[in-house]
Chains A and B, each alone.
Chain A
Amino acid sequence: MPVLEATVDRAAAVALTNVSKTYGRPRRAVTALDAVTIGFARGAFTAVMGPSGSGKSTLLHCAAGLDRATSGAVHLDGQDIGGLDEKQLAMLRRDRIGFIFQAFNLLPALTVTQNVLLPLELAGRRPDRGRLSEILHRVSLGERGRHRPAELSGGQQQRVAIARALITEPAVVFADEPTGALDTRTARDVLTLLRETVQDAGQTIVMVTHDPAAASYADRVVFLADGRLAGEIREPTAEAVAEQMTRLGAWADDGRGGVGSRGRR
């Protein structure tokens, strides 16, 4: 597929070329992703939006090597991950990728410090104490290293997840509805933190969300509908995002468009 490859930005941190994903048996297959080609630039904060069932979570799973694409190619940091087996994918994830999920990000048995160091421990790498305290400090959890997740608030737990995602200095951080379970104010803090890691440390972040306010923190928002790309907005505002979402029929009946906004910095 030389023609298609040419259309992808090979310098991107993550590049999907003609990626399709179908679930179920051949006869009754459900297409979650339909020949999507997209690149996520280095040092950029990209939000992926779309109505429920638009395929945005599937896009994230395929891009992050959590799930395999049915067809097409995924390049992560220039490497084709299509041929990797489960073990290699796991090693790729712990070395090159950081994850932040909506909830249940942390192992309840481990303390904050142990959770943050988990990817290093899985890789058998010796943690750098200075880097650890710097990261904990950056997410304002310097004093909480010995606490267990159950002793933390939801926002604090998400900040631990961010620290864990950043500890390996990954090529890209994937965030799946990272503020979905948080109240507006706490969500704003977490998003600001993510924004800062992009701005200050040049971190690449790809975030899936359905919240226009959250998306407005990104440099660029790409829209998905029915498994296909449905436009993008650079330098988004919450209003512009909400408008596009309405156009995609996301809130045809529940009127969730009116979410709080923020001014661009």
Chain B
Amino acid sequence: MIRLAARTLRFRAGGFLAAFLAMLLGAAMVMACGGLMETGVRTSMEAGRLADADVVVTGDPGFDVPNMGYTAVLTERVRVEADLVDSIGAMPGVAEATGRVFDDPAPPGTVDAVVVVAAPDADVDRLHEDIEAALPEGAVAYAGDRRGLAERPEALTGSEALVSLAGVFGAMALMVSLFGVASMLALSVRQRHRELALLRAVGGTPGQVRSLVLGETLILATVAALVAVLPGRWLGAFILQGLIDAEVVTEGVRFHLGWIPTLIAVASALLAALGGAYVAGRRAAGIRPTQALADAGLPERRPIGVGGVLVGVCLLAGGTALAIVTMTALSGLYASATGMPAAVVWAIGLAAISPLLTRPLAAVLQWPLRALTGQPGRLAMLNARASIDRTAAVVAPVVVLCGTATGVLYMQSTDREAALQAYADGLKPDVIVTAEQGVTPELRERISAIPGVSGASDYARSAGYLEQPPEDSYRWDAWSLQGVTPEGIGAIVPITVTHGNVADLHGDAVALNALEAAELGVDVGDSLAVRMGDNRSRDLEVVALFAADDDYDTMVLAADVLAEHTTAGRVTSVLVAADGTVPVDELMAEIANRTAGLSGVAVHDREALFTMFAETQRTQHFATYVIVAMIVAYSAISVVNALASSTVARRREFGLQRLTGSTRAQVLRMLTVEGLLTALIGIILGSLSAGVTTVAFSVGRADTLFPSGSPVVYAAVAGFAVALSLLATLLPGWWATRHRPVQAAAAM
């Protein structure tokens, strides 16, 4: 059958274009994800300032989370003892070992890295191994293209994000690819049903017809996967650059796509395509041989089957379950994890049963459309309603397009709004003062003394892990650590202390959420062991408990204590709360005035803090855009494919219409109205799907029925759907009517 498949493909290359594009897109996406994953795993970097080193030794940023079997990457620079410089320098094969401190001053007795230059005759790989073996606990040695990690350990955090992102993208790409390929192949099978029936009539077994479809797909998918290697590489590098621009991935990380991920990507793209072909092949194998004898070439009426309704209802039920989980989940923070899949599943489910909904919607829409469009509109309505299945086939991808794109984009804006709101609620400063050299008590006091200031607090942030008491194993995420000055805390962080006293927040002290404390079984006076961001452990005594939401997993520490464990090693900002007696801009001017003599001091308004915060959120946003772009691309191919092929198949009908007196312009006008109707039905159903899931998301995430976001997004999605439908009808319509009507009517 593979020979027959090859001949068919060669003959109807154009008919397989859509399926090919779908496979190409899927394969390129999978390839890109493979590359991103390898990039994340290898984290090879430009050596930067360490280009002269053969081996670099630095602190190990990995922390084995207790009970998890999982190594977390810490957020701050992990330094090594300065003694290491001498002990490494004394090792055989080392020409020179020097301690290096990068940007921020290292605490006494430590260095950021030990730069090792190998002796001229030494084998660098061997030396690397020897040094690694000789290193004490908590230090690592990098060589080759990982040397840059010593300067920018944060690249490892980015790599972690990259690996999980690539995994999620890859899985979605494969899923969408499977459905995309299945639907394109199903259309190509439908278009050729007489041919396949003929094959059955002259002795092709159902199995042979199935293997014909599989064979075609195998050839097509192999070519697509091979062609996808280069675009996949570009796409991967492009996404990496996007992530670097969004500061998710550290500048200097190099894109890597080796042959193993390439092979795996090719294999999984092939498997996804074959999975799609299996679905389409089953349908092809079910074609009755007598269909070859049917006298006309008209597509058979294919009302939606029981199976289709069942699949649609199951998907809708699944999507609703996801939406309910989203709505009622304990923590709003995880709403995206179920909300976005809910939007996709609902849209696909609604698309599956859209043949049932298209007819009533067309009946309702006919009145306004007729009134607006006159005669061509009447004919278009008759056509659309007479061949409701054809209309429904085009409506389905529009539903998926609108439902997912609108749903996912509005969930994202709702999420961003909610996160900003939570951040704003959690932090009440009106002015932020930054000091590059570090905040001195004197600076803070000077600010506190200004009239109109109700409080001023140092502010530092980091992240860490709880070592004692042991936690339940569900926590993968780090605790957020906030450093404040106890005297000013009341004006800065809106917490209500329930036990203990925040004024005691000096030295090795910590305050935490009363709910979390209850879960951990600790109370005021108990001690916690916390692994700080620089991989040093610190025992902290609980001095206060406060009331907050259960997902406020923040420990509040003294700012100077926390700063010791950060890369900067010092506190660089002061948060200032106003008492309302002086307008904020006047207050800012006064602070600027009083601190004018100090170098490196700058005064910002509240927005600056949010801007900084919003930037840290870009990871997810960029990921969302890529996913939406992919879904849009697949739906666009489906819409164009379905519309264009059905329009071209109607050549004869257009010819007859023109023979009976329609002008070409009238035919095209009629097609315009049909395209509009199709787009409108799709948009209505898509909006229904997006509406249901987005409201559920909004309730779960932000406790409000109204999702946030700009109406421009909706207008853009709807406009895109309309433009796509019209383009995909009118272009082939124009092409199909280019001949004289007599020829067209006689064709076929």
Contact = CB atoms under 8 A, between A and B. Distances in A.
Contacts of A61: 290, 293
Contact of A119 (B4, B194, B202, B288): B202
A235 interface: no
Interface stretch (A108-116, A225-233, A237-245): A108-116
Interface residues of B, number: 27
A176 interface: yes
Interface stretch (A89-97, A194-202, A211-219): A89-97
Given A105-B198, A108-B11, A57 B203 contact: no
A239 B3 CA distance: 49
Contact of A102 (B8, B202, B289, B295): B295
Contact of A123 (B10, B198, B203, B290): B203
Contacts, number: 80
A101 B293 CA distance: 7
A66 B201 contact: yes
Contacts of A176: 293
Interface in B1-35: 3-4, 7-8, 10-12
Nearest to B286: A86
A90 B205 contact: yes
Given A57-B293, A66-B289, A109-B12, A164 B205 contact: no
A114 B203 CA distance: 15
Contact of B7 (A97, A109, A123): A109
A167 to B, nearest CB: 10
B11 A109 contact: yes
A109 B8 contact: yes
Q: At the interface, is chain B mostly helix, strand, loop or mixed?
A: helix
Q: Which one of B3, B10, B203, B288 has the greatest number of beta carbons of chain A within 10 Å? A: B203
A264 interface: no
A107 B205 contact: no
A101 B292 contact: yes
B261 interface: no
B203 A93 contact: yes
Interface in B611-652: none
Contacts of B289: 66, 90, 93
Interface residues of A, number: 32
A67 interface: yes
A103 B288 CA distance: 17
Given A93-B201, A105-B198, A107-B199, A67 B206 contact: no
Contacts of A118: 199, 202-203
Nearest to A165: B202
Contacts of A102: 293, 295
Given A66-B289, A109-B10, A109-B12, A104 B205 contact: no
Contacts of A104: 194, 198, 292, 297
A5 B479 CA distance: 87
A105 B198 CA distance: 7
B200 interface: yes
A51 to B, nearest CB: 16
B195 interface: yes
Contacts of A107: 8, 195, 198-199
B204 interface: yes
A223 interface: no
A102 B293 CA distance: 7
22 contacts: A57-B293, A66-B201, A66-B288, A66-B293, A86-B205, A86-B206, A90-B200, A90-B206, A90-B208, A91-B203, A93-B203, A95-B203, A104-B292, A104-B297, A105-B198, A110-B11, A118-B202, A118-B203, A119-B203, A122-B199, A122-B205, A122-B208
Interface of A: 57, 61, 66-67, 86-87, 90-91, 93-95, 97, 99, 101-110, 114, 118-119, 121-123, 148, 164, 176
Given A108-B11, A122-B202, 11 more contacts: A66-B201, A86-B205, A87-B205, A87-B206, A93-B201, A101-B201, A102-B295, A108-B195, A114-B7, A118-B202, A176-B293
Which 3 A/B pairs are nearest by Cβ-Cβ distance? A94-B203, A109-B11, A90-B205
